Amino acid sequence: MSVIDELAAEFARLPGIGRKTALRLTYYLLKRPAEDTRRLAHALSAVADRVRACSTCGNLTEADPCAICTSPRRDGSMVCVVEEASDIGAIERTGTFAGLYHVLGGRLSPLEGVGPDELRIGPLLARLETGPDVGEVIIATNPSVEGEATALYLQKLIRPLGRRVTRLARGMPVGGDLEYTDGVTIAEALAGRREIG
């Protein structure tokens, strides 16, 4: 196998990248100056060498514990549980949540062989048992079948610890169109309706 084929094969292993796109990326890099390719290789190497999971929350970071866990401005009484570290960025971009996080590293999915032991559930429970400050656990798993199953499983484990367990609200997206919205989303929006005015 040539080095071109090797690089294309590595690109093809990335999510959302098929064989054609992998080849397109490979040939794009080959057309660029060698320094551009070296910069990319250096950035990939630096990420592999320096980025690790935070020992407290599981967020991806260069410093352990991460900046969120060590920030005195964060509200330690709330812990938001997310599936992946990338979910933290989505919540942080809203600028409305000032609590802490816990990354599960996935969601329960028996068909894919992901059970409770493959997720960071044990560290979450240990954190709740040793952290009396935590009053609320916000479960922010995705609104999929697996995400819902994970949320229910976590609720059953956390409630006996005397912590309030909440779930992100679901419903109609801003700018959404009823005509193109699925029935489950509309049902959730109706169930979670609130008074205006």
Using one digit for the tens of pLDDT, what is the confidence trace for 51-101? 999 999 999 999 999 999 999 999 999 999 999 999 999 999 989 999 999
Q: What whole-number distance in Å separates Cα of residue 138 and Cα of residue 154?
A: 10
HSE-CB at 92 with a 13 A cutoff on CA atoms is 12
Predicted confidence at residue 72, as pLDDT, reads 96
Q: What whole-number distance in Å separates Cα of residue 139 and Cα of residue 168?
A: 7
Predicted confidence at residue 143, as pLDDT, reads 85
Residue 48 — pLDDT band, cuts 50, 70, 90? very high
Tell me the domains of the chain and their CATH numbers: 3-50 (1.10.8.420), 60-167 (3.40.1360.10)
Residue 188 — pLDDT band, cuts 50, 70, 90? confident
pLDDT tens per residue across span 125-184: 999 998 778 999 999 999 888 999 999 999 999 999 999 999 988 777 777 777 787 777
Strand order in the sheet with 99-103: 99-103, 75-82, 136-139, 164-167
Predicted confidence at residue 197, as pLDDT, reads 66
The size of the chain, in residues, is 197
For the segment 185-192, the average pLDDT, to the nearest whole number, is 78
3-class DSSP state of 64: coil
pLDDT exceeds cutoff 90 at 185: no
What is the chain's Cα-based Rg?
21
Burial track 65-87 (b if 16+ CB lie within 10 A, e otherwise): ebebbeeeebeeebbbbbbbbeb
Q: What whole-number distance in Å separates Cα of residue 11 and Cα of residue 59?
A: 24
Predicted confidence at residue 130, as pLDDT, reads 87
Residue 11 — pLDDT band, cuts 50, 70, 90? very high
DSSP 28-61: HHHHS-HHHHHHHHHHHHHHHHH-EE-TTT--EE
Q: What whole-number distance in Å separates Cα of residue 107 and Cα of residue 87?
A: 13
